[in-house]
Structure 1
Amino acid sequence: VQKCWLILFSTSIIFGQTGTEIAKMVDERKTPKDMSNVTKMVLKNSKGKTRTNLMVSKSMDGNKKQIIWFLEPKDDKGVAFLKIEYDNKDDEMHMWLPAFKKIRRISSKKKGDAFMGSDLSYEDMSSRDLKQNDYKRLDDKKINDKDCFVLEVSPTKEAESSYSKHISWIDKS
């Protein structure tokens, strides 16, 4: 019996954590309850032309509530995005479009649509429940001199997603 336990313990050290264990570890990390940031998003089209968006974001309640204000470029200045996530019903998403003086509701059916002409979708702006995905650990990689876990994340059949999978690089430190 002692040999069996030693072998099981050794294999867990050799093979390390599973994809699901790493995803749980990330989900359980301490995060700020409230957070503010300034983000610069550079969009580049197939012809090489770039467009830069500058935004200010405020998140509350562990990112369940978020508002983003666009500061640049000039034609997007004043546009705002509001997201409120719920545990027991569909999330709310709204855009304030100052040029039209209108608030546009983004339905849950439109979560796969592009966010402000970028490669991000409205779905990317929402948190994901661990149970809605399957996690496969890929080979670890070094990115910008940081050792990273690499996970292939695939939505379960029950999850409504526009993605078949995505790859996440997670800093080991």
Structure 2
Amino acid sequence: MNRKSFFLPLLLILFPALLTAQTGREIMEWLDAAEEPETTHALVKLRIIEPDGSIKERVIEEWSAEDNSGLSHSVIAFHTPASVRNTRFLVKENTDRDDDQWIYLPALRKVRRIAASEGGDSFMGTEFSYDDLKSRQIDDYTYTYLRSEEAQGRECWVVESLPKEGTDSQYGRVLHWVTRDRDIMRTLRMELFGTGGEIEKIFTVEELELIDGYWTPMSVVMENQHSGRATRLEQQRIELDKPVNPRRFTPRFLETGRTE
């Protein structure tokens, strides 16, 4: 018996997931099914970092919750600096179409719906686009497992996703580094490529922490590979699975900032 045929049965016994989970679709299904909190409420420090090292700081508050249908809704309110205070942004997930997005700009004193054509635009001067803040349907993409590789000190599966024909995406290709530890199941890194094949942005989870039983990104950064700019988000305070008033997820809340 040669060495290869001796070790193969042993691997099947000791590491069954290693040999049966190596399809991109399976890995992304596991990621999609990972347990998430029903609600979140967080205070976040946002830093816009220029190529020369100068920094613009913002403080935002964020709420998210699932409705009775299991669809996710989230709202962001800007607190500082004064130039963006009371700007509010709402995303509502849909089952049969793209997410709905609205923004309230205090200077205009009205709520404006974000058009699909604006999806690739920068969100409030950050390196995140409006499309980056939308949910994604797993069936809109094809997936290929590429390799196993370390990211942020953890072993990961590297999976390539490509949008299917008819899927509206600003990216032609995305590489995902997904933790191999099934108890964590988080994306620690993404490389986002334009439709022309060039790399545009890199997203990295810099700090991951177990909070109330959920692995939670505490610090993330999106780096623009063309401009050299970056946006970093750092959780200052976070609550999970605490009641959130559903009236926050309405255009009325965007306009008034009140839930009464």
- Aligned counterparts of 2:144 and 2:37: Cα–Cα separation in 1: 27
Note closer, same or farther for the CA distance 1:24–1:97 as it changes in structure 2 (3 Å cut).
same
State the partner residue of 1:48. 53
How high is the TM-score relative to the length of structure 2?
0.58
- Runs of at least 5 residues in structure 2 that lack an aligned partner in the other structure: 1-7, 182-260
- Aligned counterparts of 2:158 and 2:18: Cα–Cα separation in 1: 18
Residue by residue over 1:58-102, the C-alpha shift from the partner in whole angstroms, topping out at 9 and shown as x without a partner, is 111166211001122331121110111111244221111112212
Q: Answer 1 or 2: higher relative contact order, Cα 8 Å, separation at least 6.
A: 2
Given that 2:21 and 2:27 are in contact with CA atoms closer than 8 Å, whether structure 1 keeps it comes out as no
Given that 1:67 and 1:82 are in contact with CA atoms closer than 8 Å, whether structure 2 keeps it comes out as yes
Note if 1:92 corresponds to 2:100.
Answer: yes
- Runs of at least 5 residues in structure 1 that lack an aligned partner in the other structure: 1-5
State the partner residue of 1:3. none
User: Runs of 4+ in structure 1 displaced over 3 angstroms?
Assistant: 9-16
- Aligned counterparts of 1:90 and 1:145: Cα–Cα separation in 2: 35
1:75 aligned counterpart, secondary structure: coil
- The alignment covers a number of residue pairs equal to 167
Which deviates more, 63-72 or 23-32? 63-72
Given that 2:71 and 2:94 are in contact with CA atoms closer than 8 Å, whether structure 1 keeps it comes out as no
Which deviates more, 110-119 or 55-64? 55-64
State the partner residue of 2:76. 68
Identity of counterpart residues, as a percentage?
28
CA-atom RMSD in angstroms: 2.4
Note closer, same or farther for the CA distance 1:12–1:97 as it changes in structure 2 (3 Å cut).
closer
Given that 2:46 and 2:58 are in contact with CA atoms closer than 8 Å, whether structure 1 keeps it comes out as yes
Which deviates more, 76-85 or 47-56? 47-56
- Aligned counterparts of 1:104 and 1:120: Cα–Cα separation in 2: 19
Given that 2:99 and 2:135 are in contact with CA atoms closer than 8 Å, whether structure 1 keeps it comes out as no
- Aligned counterparts of 1:115 and 1:63: Cα–Cα separation in 2: 22
Q: Which amino acid aligns with 2:49?
A: K
Given that 1:34 and 1:63 are in contact with CA atoms closer than 8 Å, whether structure 2 keeps it comes out as no
How high is the TM-score relative to the length of structure 1?
0.84
1:138 Cα deviation from its structure 2 partner: 2.7
- Aligned counterparts of 2:39 and 2:71: Cα–Cα separation in 1: 7
Note closer, same or farther for the CA distance 1:15–1:30 as it changes in structure 2 (3 Å cut).
closer
